[in-house]
Amino acid sequence: MTTIVALLNGLLNALFDALCWPLKSFDPLWAMVWISLLTGVLMVWIFGKVSNQDGIKRAKDKIYGNIYGVLLFQDDVGVILRLQGRILRHILTYMKYSLIPMVILMIPVILIIIQLNLRFSVQPFEPGDSVLLKVKVRDASALDRPIALDLPGGIEKESPAVRIPSEREVAWRLRAQKPGEYPLAIRFGEDTVEKQILVGSRWGKTSARRPGAGVLDVLLWPGEAPLERSAPVESIEIDYPTLPLSVFGWNVHWLVAFFILSIVFGFAVKDFFGVQV
């Protein structure tokens, strides 16, 4: 299963790299707008294909009709109560028709969010920035072994290894020296694991965590190949800075921007596709 998820990650990584590539030299907000537009169109199209469009239209028409009746008979409490009961019943019918399509839509939306998290949640370090590297081991006894960190020329060590047995972690404070993509090698005795680190690049695919071999871990962190099950290390994390996403001078979380933009674009194109939502 892990192999299948890793293959899916590779395909989605290539797809989103291609989608973002034309906008790499622009502010990341424009790439977010572009992907949100494509997502809104895709979600509307899928919803139209998997939902009972006739049933949704009938339920909506009945809801609107009964609301109009409430406005007409405002002075008749009995009629209003009956109409409100009908409105509630038709709303439940509408929800029944919409529930399964929404569950189906969750699958592509989750995959898109995972890819966006890889690109919009953090950004590479700038030269001179301080870097926290955290390595989580499978068993705390691994921390008793000799541990060494091999660094490339563009990264220097600021502190020795700090072992935290209660958390099954060992951590280093590093400093980025010059732009580049560098491999860090962590050695536990004869076992060696690696993690990529980015310095000085523009926004883009930035892997904050190299995942373990678990299926969920591999799915959520698609930026690098998973660690081997036989490795003493469970995961490797780098504390990258948050990528700022500015809208009219306001810093907005990328997930909020994505949901708002994709919903707005979806409602904007639903009539073009003739889809009842």
Domain positions in the chain = 2-121+249-273, 130-238
**Around 236, how many Cα atoms within 13 Å sit in the side-chain half-sphere?**
25
Q: Report the predicted TM-score, pTM, of the whole model to 2 decimal places.
A: 0.89
Q: Has residue 197 got a pLDDT over 90? A: yes
DSSP per residue over 80-102, as a string? HHHHHHHHHHHHHHHHHHHHHHH
CA angle 128, 130, 136 (to 5 degrees): 145
CATH of segment(s) 130-238:
2.60.40
Supply the mean pLDDT for the chain: 90
In order of 48, 77, 86, 97, 209, the CA distances from 64 in angstroms are 21, 19, 11, 17, 50
What would the pLDDT profile of 60-70 be if each residue is shown by its tens digit?
A: 888 888 888 87
What would the pLDDT profile of 36-78 be if each residue is shown by its tens digit?
A: 999 999 999 999 999 999 999 998 888 888 888 878 777 777 7
Q: Has residue 116 got a pLDDT over 90? A: yes
What tokens appear for 189 in the block? 């005795």
